[in-house]
Structures are given as C-alpha cells and as structure tokens.
Amino acid sequence: MTELYLSYVQKKAEADRLAAKAEKILSQIINSIGDDSDLLTTDEVARELRVSRSTISRMLDDGQLEYTRVRTRRMVLKSSLPTKMSKI
C-alpha cells in the first residue's frame, strides 16, 4: 500500500509540473499574439457579428472560424473575423 501511495504522489507531482509548464507556454503564446489581435470568447464574437452564440459554435465546429483553446474555452482571434456575415 505504501508503494502504491508513493507512486501516486510521484505521478501527481509530475502531472502538476507538466501542467504548470503547459500553462507557462500557453501564456507565452497568448502574449506573443499581440495587443492588436485580441482573443475573443464565443459570446464576444457573437455580439461582434450580430449572430447567436450557437451560430458561432456551429461555425467553429464546421471550421468556418479558426480558434484556439484556452483551458476549456474556445477563443477566436479578432483579426480572423469576417468583416460581414454571409449566409451560412
């Protein structure tokens, strides 16, 4: 039982180190994108394009909009938004 617990603790510590490293890398990527090309949430994109959030989700699922994941959120680069919505 002690060996099993020790193995668990070691694996948990390694997972925590990897998560911290991944978060640091993600932060660097987001910072390198720059101020003029903000990341927008799906709600913000929906407001910007004057469509529903479900329409934005469908566009993301269909590959019509590029996005990146930040934790569990799908974030869209403002510079990648269409200037005008066409029929979907």
- Same domain, yes or no, for 27 and 40? no
pLDDT for the residue 86: 55
- 42, with CB counted inside 10 A (0-12, 13-18, 19+), is buried
- Same domain, yes or no, for 18 and 47? no
- Same domain, yes or no, for 23 and 52? no
pLDDT for the residue 36: 43
- Same domain, yes or no, for 42 and 68? yes
Does 43 have pLDDT greater than 90? yes
- Same domain, yes or no, for 72 and 53? yes
pTM given for the model: 0.53
- Same domain, yes or no, for 2 and 40? no
Residue 3 domain boundaries: 1-33
| Across 72-88, average pLDDT | 76
**What's the CA gap between 47 and 84, in Å, rounded?**
13
- Same domain, yes or no, for 28 and 54? no
For the chain, what percent of residues have pLDDT higher than 70?
85
Residue 11 lies in a domain: yes
